[in-house]
Every structure is written in C-alpha cells, then in structure tokens.
C-alpha cells in the first residue's frame, strides 16, 4: 500500500497513523509516478485537483486553465490528499468511506 500526500498535512498524518504498513510518499519531494497520476485522473477526474487549497488560490488564470495533469505536475500540492493505492484499488481523501473500505475502525 502506498499513501501519497504531504508530510505536513494533518489529514495525511491521520491516515498514516491508521495505516502504519503503508509506504508514505511526499508528493513534493518524491512526486507521483506518471502512471499513478494518470490512473487517478481517470478514476477521480477533476476531484483530484483540490480547488479549495491555498495553492489553487495562488494560481493565476493561465495556470488555472491548464489541463489537470499539467497542473498537478507543476504544483504537486494541488492534489487532494491523501491518495492511497492498494493493488489495483485507489482511494482519494481520508473519508469514512475510504476508512471502511480499508478496514480502519
């Protein structure tokens, strides 16, 4: 299991604490492999881009108009977090649904 997030993100820390067996990858330092990012975009669409983040608010109109893949590659912290990959399954966010699917009480 891999957990993509930010090391200073409280939600990512909660997820990692509940999933100690997960390999944590910081999206700023480690990045997200292209194949994982493309698959996540296919599954989650524009929900993968966190438009409520401070990073989004700091983008100019030209950056906001770019395709989501280009936005996420240029600004990894735009990704909604955490992105959890377990085998062929992917989960976005640390919601009750995600926690139940992963067997977290």
Catalytic positions, please?
9
Residue 70 burial (10 A CB sphere; 0-12, 13-18, 19+) = exposed
């Amino acid at each position: 299991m891999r957990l993509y997030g930010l090391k200073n993100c409280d939600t990512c820390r909660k997820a990692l604490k509940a999933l100690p067996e997960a390999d944590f990858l910081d999206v700023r330092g480690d990045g997200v492999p292209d194949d994982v990012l493309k698959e996540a975009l296919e599954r989650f669409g524009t929900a993968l881009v966190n438009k409520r983040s401070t990073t989004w608010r700091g983008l100019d109109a030209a950056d906001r108009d770019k395709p989501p893949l280009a936005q996420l590659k240029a600004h990894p912290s735009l990704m909604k977090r955490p992105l959890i990959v377990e085998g062929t399954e992917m989960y976005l966010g640390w919601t009750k649904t995600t926690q139940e699917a992963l067997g977290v009480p």
